[in-house]
Amino acid sequence: MGQSNERDARSCLQTASGLGRGQISPHEGRLRVGGSLSLLPVCLQFQEDGFLVLEGFLSADECEAMQRRIGEIVAKMDVPLHCRTEFSTQEEEQLHAQGSTDYFLSSGDKIRFFFEKGVFDKQGNFLVPPEKSINKIGHALHAHDPIFRCVTHSPKVQALARSLGLQMPVVVQSMYIFKQPHFGGEGGPAAVTPHQDASFLYTEPLGRVLGLWIALEDAMLENGCLWFIPGSHRGALVLIHGEVVHKSERNFSDRSRQAYTFHLMEAAGTVWSPDNWLQPTPELPFPPLYI
């Protein structure tokens, strides 16, 4: 982050010794954001490292508002048995569980539910409380829910995008990640293996996709914090370059690690691959961030 930037020695994400470029390390550098954003000193660092942590980007009240709203959405959840899809980041499992179902492939312009492995019996009935079964909700909260639309298009997000030099950013998807606590036994949420968002959201040229990951609960080693190549807590926003490799481990704690995340694409001079599973639709073209 540079010598002029504050390092948070109180980080619950412990710094492992000897970790460097080409190795997985927990994100540790943090920049505190006050009433206004001044990001010019760290833009080059973001381009070099591929990630940047902005502490205090959202207030506790803003985090709680999103959590309350997602609780209301989950309470009204009604997913038919044949649409109860387990989510996986493993390529073979993903193709088997999701690639063959229209429920996932047509979710880019809808709000849909995706579940942890092992939460259904053979008939598709819940083996755990439904609110503890969800892996994520996606992929158009930003378009169809007023609370999440307000956060996604907030003045502070727009100011951040402008500070990063984005001219025509559009919102391509959004997700609410639950990172459920460990159920015990062989169950529990799986790790997210090292990956690059650009491999799922491919553009020409590369480097036109930016992830914004907002911690709504404390993210720690025990409950599956984010790790990056190279080497948060609540209210922090993590900028994730589309080409940076990152992962998260399993949640072995008894606490969830909820987060709201969405992806922006610089639309100016960019071609969105027709081979991406996620595609704009006539009903929901990728909405511009600046509104």
pLDDT score for 170: 98
Q: What is the pLDDT along the chain (291 residues), one digit of tens a residue?
A: 333 322 222 222 222 222 222 333 344 333 333 334 455 666 777 888 899 989 899 999 999 999 999 999 999 999 888 788 666 655 445 545 544 478 888 999 999 999 988 899 988 899 999 999 999 999 999 999 999 999 999 999 999 999 889 999 999 999 999 999 874 334 455 688 888 999 999 999 998 999 999 999 999 988 889 998 753 447 899 999 999 999 998 898 999 999 999 999 999 999 999 999 999 999 999 999 998
The whole-angstrom separation of Cα 173 and Cα 139 is 5
- Cα of 32 vs its chain's centroid, Å: 20
3-state class (DSSP) for residue 42 = helix
pLDDT score for 24: 37
Give, as one character, the DSSP assignment of residue 35: S
- Which residue's entry shows tokens 């959201």? 201
Strand order in the sheet with 226-228: 25-26, 226-228, 246-248, 192-195
Structural tokens at position 39: 């990001």
pLDDT score for 118: 86
3-state class (DSSP) for residue 113 = strand
Q: Report in angstroms the alpha-carbon separations of 25 from 20, 31, 228, 284.
A: 8, 18, 6, 37
pLDDT score for 190: 67
| β-pair partners for 110 | none
pLDDT score for 15: 24
Looking at the whole model, is its pTM more than 0.85? Answer: no
The whole-angstrom separation of Cα 103 and Cα 122 is 19
pLDDT score for 230: 56
pLDDT score for 29: 35
